[in-house]
């Protein structure tokens, strides 16, 4: 399992500074830092730097869970842009159009990050940072090819501002301007006068190696203070020069207010040994500030929010959980089907058996439907079987010719004697254990009487009825055996 450490990388075109912070302590403890650079300027600078960074981390056994990158000011540009909205979501949706309008140029190949510097009823003032997408693509792909996937990619001045706001304490009533000069870049940061950890202004500029730094600071301070509209006046300048060539007494005289130096290494709780492998203290604190990005990620000025959004371990974890949940669901469904299959086969066999049994039951029970319960069907079949056996054996309450079969035989014998002479037609014969009912017709009333006389020879007519219909003599009689 990866350690919960944070890696900050300050990246320029030909050099990089790396700082690894541990989670312990209020100010974070520096686990390691180093700088690397490429000697020859080629198109593969970022790939070589990424390889050197990975090798440096491996040599120092630096383990980390998240990475943040700070881009050198030579790799991006800063603009002041107005937005008609105050809501950050609306601003993020329209900032590209506002920037394109402000720059009067196509921004399709540009990645954009922004910070809201002020808001009122008329909208918001933004500090917009733009970087070429090709540069960002080279940086990200080079790092990712070495298993380093940064969560954020920010301007270096934003990381420096974060370091100052979290590591340098000032009196509540002071309103200082922070000026920081490295060997090649200059930065100005103005903290928010409300006492929050935000900044109201950030500026970057390039510094020549032979430039007089006192004159440079004096000129840039004047430009910076002129940009602070409707802000409290600057009380003092807190500056750091990596070359140590600034005379702060002389600078105070030129500015008209106090100028003094600050110790960035002390603010970072880093000793000389920690900075031994770093090329410049300013590069160190910028990389340190980048490593602190996880503390305020939702508010960070992140180029990756606009270009190649972060697809790191969180996204991989979500995909893995989604795949695992789908796999478990499929496994449970397969297990359920496997367990239910014997029951399904039994139910299918029972359904086929019931269908076949229903057909046989209907035949035996003279068209009656099969009951819902098999026990009821068995009872009725058993009762019918006993009744048939009693009738066939003469145990139905009569013996000999009194059995149902005997009655039917006598009726059929009578029919055979007179059927042809009387032109007899039988329509219905109903047989019960007590009597037989016959419905039919003959060609005349005389023939009907002949039929009755023939039947009376063997059976007793207990009820009769006849009528003439359509030239036929229709009759119905009920007969029983003679006593």
Please answer whether residues 234 and 228 qualify as being in contact, where contact means their C-beta atoms are separated by less than 8 angstroms: yes
Q: If one looks up domain 1-76+132-168+270-310 in CATH, what number appears?
A: 3.30.420.40
Tell me the percentage of the chain whose pLDDT exceeds 90.
36
399: pLDDT confidence band, cut at 50, 70 and 90?
very low
What's residue 438's pLDDT?
87
Q: Tell whether the model's pLDDT for residue 27 goes beyond 70.
A: no
> What is the pLDDT of the chain when averaged over all its residues?
84
Q: 257: which 2 tokens?
A: 């207010």
Give residue limits of the domains in the chain.
1-76+132-168+270-310, 323-393, 400-481
Q: Summarize the confidence of residues 310-338 as an average pLDDT.
A: 81
Structure-model confidence comparison of residues 316 and 222, the more confident one: 222
Structure-model confidence comparison of residues 468 and 319, the more confident one: 468
* DSSP assignments along 352-398, one per residue: HHHHHHHHHHHHHTTTPPPPSSHHHHHHHHHHHHHHHHHHHHT-SS-
How many Å apart are CA 168 and CA 121, to the nearest integer?
33
pLDDT in tens, 29-74: 888 999 999 987 777 789 999 999 999 999 999 999 899 999 999 9
Please answer whether residues 36 and 49 qualify as being in contact, where contact means their C-beta atoms are separated by less than 8 angstroms: yes
Q: Summarize the confidence of residues 302-320 as an average pLDDT.
A: 79
* DSSP assignments along 399-435, one per residue: -GGGSHHHHHHHHHHHHHHHHHHHT-EEEEEEE-SS-
What's residue 421's pLDDT?
83
Q: Which of 105-114, 131-140, 383-392, 423-432 has the lowest mean pLDDT?
A: 383-392
Q: Tell whether the model's pLDDT for residue 9 goes beyond 90.
A: yes
Q: Tell whether the model's pLDDT for residue 77 goes beyond 90.
A: yes
Helices (H) and strands (E) in the chain, counts: 12, 17
351: pLDDT confidence band, cut at 50, 70 and 90?
confident
* Cα separation values, 5 from 22, 58, 62, 294, 345, Å: 5, 15, 9, 11, 59
* DSSP assignments along 125-178, one per residue: EEEEEEEEHHHHHHHHHHHHTTT---SEEEEHHHHHHHHHHHH----TT--EEE
Q: Tell whether the model's pLDDT for residue 415 goes beyond 70.
A: yes
How many Å apart are CA 255 and CA 259, to the nearest integer?
8
What's residue 28's pLDDT?
66
Which CATH fold topology does 400-481 show? Alpha-Beta Plaits (3.30.70)
Structure-model confidence comparison of residues 222 and 386, the more confident one: 222
Q: 439: which 2 tokens?
A: 């419905």
Among candidate residues 78, 97, 71, the one with its CA nearest the CA of residue 12: 71
**Environment class of 444 (CB within 10 Å of its CB; exposed 0-12, middle 13-18, buried 19+):** middle
Q: Summarize the confidence of residues 71-86 as an average pLDDT.
A: 93
Structure-model confidence comparison of residues 160 and 296, the more confident one: 160
What's residue 316's pLDDT?
67
Please answer whether residues 301 and 113 qualify as being in contact, where contact means their C-beta atoms are separated by less than 8 angstroms: yes
Structure-model confidence comparison of residues 232 and 195, the more confident one: 232
What's residue 1's pLDDT?
45
Please answer whether residues 71 and 156 qualify as being in contact, where contact means their C-beta atoms are separated by less than 8 angstroms: yes
How many Å apart are CA 279 and CA 400, to the nearest integer?
130
Q: Summarize the confidence of residues 401-420 as an average pLDDT.
A: 72
Q: Tell whether the model's pLDDT for residue 333 goes beyond 70.
A: yes
What's residue 299's pLDDT?
59
What's residue 398's pLDDT?
46
Q: Summarize the confidence of residues 278-289 as an average pLDDT.
A: 92
Q: Summarize the confidence of residues 230-242 as an average pLDDT.
A: 83
How many Å apart are CA 168 and CA 67, to the nearest integer?
23
Q: Summarize the confidence of residues 147-160 as an average pLDDT.
A: 93
């Amino acid at each position: 399992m990866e350690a919960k450490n944070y890696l900050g990388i300050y990246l320029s075109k030909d050099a990089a500074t790396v700082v690894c912070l541990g989670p312990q302590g209020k100010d974070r403890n520096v686990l390691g830092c180093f700088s690397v650079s490429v000697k020859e300027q080629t198109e593969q600078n970022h790939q070589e730097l990424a390889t050197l960074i990975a090798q440096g981390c491996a040599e120092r056994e630096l383990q980390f869970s998240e990475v943040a990158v700070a881009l050198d000011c030579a790799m991006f540009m800063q603009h002041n842009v107005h937005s008609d909205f105050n809501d950050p979501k609306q601003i993020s949706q329209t900032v590209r159009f506002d920037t394109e309008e402000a720059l009067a140029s196509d921004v399709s190949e540009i990645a954009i990050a922004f910070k809201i510097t002020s808001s009122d009823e008329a909208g918001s003032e933004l500090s917009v940072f733009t970087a070429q997408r090709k540069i960002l693509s080279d940086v990200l792909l080079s790092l990712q090819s070495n298993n380093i996937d940064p969560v954020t990619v920010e301007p270096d001045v934003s990381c420096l501002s974060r370091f100052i706001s979290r590591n340098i304490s000032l009196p509540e009533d002071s309103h200082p301007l922070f000026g920081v000069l490295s060997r090649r870049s200059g930065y100005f940061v103005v903290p928010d006068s409300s006492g929050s950890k935000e900044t109201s202004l950030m500026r970057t500029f390039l510094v020549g190696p032979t430039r007089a730094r006192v004159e440079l600071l004096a000129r840039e301070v004047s430009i910076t203070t002129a940009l602070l509209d409707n802000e409290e006046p600057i009380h003092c300048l807190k500056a750091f020069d990596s070359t140590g060539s600034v005379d702060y007494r002389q600078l105070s005289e030129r500015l008209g207010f106090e100028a003094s130096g600050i110790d960035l290494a002390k603010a970072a709780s880093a000793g000389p040994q920690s900075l031994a492998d770093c090329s410049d203290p300013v590069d160190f604190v910028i990389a340190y500030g980048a490593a602190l990005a996880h503390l305020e990620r939702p508010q960070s000025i992140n180029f990756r929010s606009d270009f190649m959004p972060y697809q790191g371990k969180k996204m991989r974890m979500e995909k893995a959980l989604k795949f695992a949940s789908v796999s478990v669901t499929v496994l449970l469904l397969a297990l359920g089907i496997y367990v239910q299959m014997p029951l399904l086969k039994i139910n299918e066999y029972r359904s086929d058996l019931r269908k076949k049994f229903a057909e046989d039951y209907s035949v035996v029970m003279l068209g009656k439907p099969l009951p819902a319960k098999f026990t009821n069907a068995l009872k009725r079949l058993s009762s019918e079987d006993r009744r048939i056996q009693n009738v066939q054996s003469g145990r139905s309450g009569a013996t000999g010719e009194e059995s149902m079969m005997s009655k039917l035989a006598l009726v059929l014998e009578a029919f055979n004697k007179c059927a042809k002479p009387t032109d007899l037609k039988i329509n219905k014969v109903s047989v019960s254990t007590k009597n037989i009912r016959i419905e039919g017709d003959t060609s005349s009333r005389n023939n009907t009487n002949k039929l009755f006389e023939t039947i009376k020879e063997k059976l007793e007519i207990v009820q009769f009825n006849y009528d003439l219909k359509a030239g036929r003599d229709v009759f119905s009689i009920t007969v029983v055996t003679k006593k």
